Amino acid sequence: MPSIENTFAIVRVDGPFREPREQVFSYDYSIQRSTWATPHGVRMKVSIPDELEVLKRRLFGVVVGSPGRQLMLSNILSKAIAGWKMRVAEEEGMLTERRDVMVPPFVGSLAHLFPKLEALFEADQSAIREEVKRRVGI
């Protein structure tokens, strides 16, 4: 766990972006620590089939609705997943160095981190359901 004086602040978040030749959405974070002279970039990749769709099914089962509603739901959930992955990456020490970082999906060699993502999902799923109900109507 990082010390209080070394915690980071998220300065900016951009995305989602659809990565070419990959089934992922990515979010670009700009993070700043009090000990750093400038912010650094973190690209957080969210796997559509292995993270987004898995958690979407757990949250809502089979979702019906217009393509626009489906897109809004995917955007809300993928942004939440990216935020949870930022927390996991910070806990794992992946964001401590003063350099730009790309965090891939939690599959393959990073599959051991997926249970931590699931735990954050379990803790926040009622809030995500409420946000989707409020913004999307599903």
Alpha-carbon distances of 52 from 31, 34, 106, rounded to whole Å: 23, 33, 11
Which residues, 6 or more positions from 130, have their beta carbon under 8 angstroms from its beta carbon?
none
- Write down the pLDDT at residue 4: 56
Q: CA 25 to CA 15: how far, in whole Å? A: 8
CA dihedral angle for residue 47, residue 49, residue 50, residue 54, rounded to 10 degrees: 120
- Report pLDDT for 2: 47
Query: What is the C-alpha to C-alpha distance for residues 87 and 95, in angstroms, rounded to an integer?
Result: 10
Tokens 């393509």 correspond to 67
Q: Which two tokens stand for residue 42?
A: 């973190």
Residue with tokens 């609705």: 65
Supply the pLDDT for residue 131.
93
Can you give the C-alpha Rg of the chain in angstroms? Answer: 15
Cβ 99 vs Cβ 40: under 8 Å: yes
Mean pLDDT by runs of 10 across the 138 residues of the chain is 68 94 96 90 96 93 81 94 96 88 96 97 94 87
Cβ-count burial 86-112 (b if 16+ within 10 Å, e if not): bebbbeeebbeeeeebebbbbeeebee
